[in-house]
Chains A and B, each alone.
Chain A
């Protein structure tokens, strides 16, 4: 894998840090008028998800990380692995619980997810921004109360719990934003 100098740093660049692939979020040059330049970089560790700040001496190089994102459709889980398929090549990849993380609660069969591969192995899975899921459990709402009370919790078919308006009932399919876990609308 190539090395990158600080001049190549930019948002999205994948580099190795403490043995873990990382993605650069922000890069800022800090330089006194008379003196050494530094790069202050915000980095997300791609396996642990931790965000940290790191300072480099400008002109230094760091090892790049062989990380790529690929869009794959979710097929099924066998309990240990979650299986995804490339819809064009039909190639399949299995991701473990660690790679799935919280995304497991947003997985819908045939939905296309973004799988992050490091040296060919999945290390992270991101669900589509919006998914449609059925409500399996929620308190019956009060008729006529449409908004403003903060809603009620509803459990979805995947086990995810989201807050929904009081008028939404068991058996209905709702659209959820997976980035913040918020209810968007009912799906007719």
Chain B
């Protein structure tokens, strides 16, 4: 441990701006009668998402002499949905989320997340509400809205829903990613490569931009759209090269949810990743009945970066992982 890193990675006046933003967010939800909740950071289950890595620890104590395996949560989503199924009504949470294997200018292994759920909302009415919050905090114009298909067509001239793997490989090679693309046969990996490197820099520059109707294969926990089953009720918010938020018209079908978790673990087992215990309490809550709702998670640290014009996440959190 190096003692010369005792000082904070953020300036104190930036932390004061951060505190003001947190207060404004709480006031925003207080005015709208959305209840603040707190749910466990440690849970006996975790996400199966093949691109998320959880920290694992164990509780040893009364009743658990042999140790209870626990995972630090990558988001409070599962526990909040259990509250919704129990009849909480509209809720929000500001909490730490933990993701292993992530560090960089936009990533710290522990970070602060704002997550909220609105029973009775679809993804479009939730985008409306989020837009109001973003305008309030960042003092920006109303966000633009484009479908996933539109942004690909604008930036690269291809339709991401109909393009073949070979077409996606070709375009990735043309864009300078031949080393990855020539051996990559996973459709979503190719789409994510092109989206991150070539699409994202072209959207949400002068004002925030919602991208919605992500491909059904990248639905995560969103419901599939009835009018077009190729896409899901999932949206993301981008502003100035920052992915700010991810939202869903939530999947409420317990069987479908259990199937997606199982599919993730099948992929994990086949690809040298450790399978993760499925959150059967979430499945039970969905079986009991999750009200139709929309929910979204927003990275508070990234929001503060935009509000204070900082380039690295460490400049807006007291101590980054290097100083933790």
Contacts and interface: CB of A to CB of B under 8 A. Distances in A.
A30 B105 CA distance: 9
Nearest to B234: A34
A150 interface: no
Nearest to B49: A34
Interface in A26-53: 28-38, 40, 53
B180 interface: yes
B246 interface: yes
Contact of A28 (B51, B102, B104, B179): B104
B189 A57 contact: yes
A55 B177 contact: yes
User: Which size bracket describes the interface of A in this complex?
Assistant: 10 to 19
B17 to A, nearest CB: 24
Contact of A54 (B104, B107, B179, B195): B179
A23 to B, nearest CB: 18
A56 interface: yes
Given A30-B196, A31-B102, A36 B51 contact: yes
Contacts of B195: 32
Contacts of A31: 51, 102, 104, 107, 196
A54 B181 CA distance: 13
A29 B197 contact: no
Interface residues of B, number: 27
B266 interface: no
B197 A38 contact: yes
B270 to A, nearest CB: 15
B196 A32 contact: yes
Interface string B169-185: 00000001101100010
B153 interface: no
A37 B129 CA distance: 30
A86 B51 CA distance: 50
A55 B246 contact: no
A149 B106 CA distance: 47
Nearest to B103: A29
A36 B195 CA distance: 11
B177 A33 contact: no
B189 A29 contact: no
A55 to B, nearest CB: 6
B295 to A, nearest CB: 14
14 contacts: A28-B105, A29-B104, A29-B107, A31-B51, A32-B192, A32-B196, A33-B236, A34-B246, A35-B188, A35-B189, A38-B193, A55-B193, A57-B189, A58-B101
Given A36-B188, A54-B179, A55-B193, 11 more contacts: A29-B104, A29-B106, A30-B196, A31-B51, A31-B107, A32-B195, A33-B243, A33-B297, A34-B218, A38-B196, A57-B184
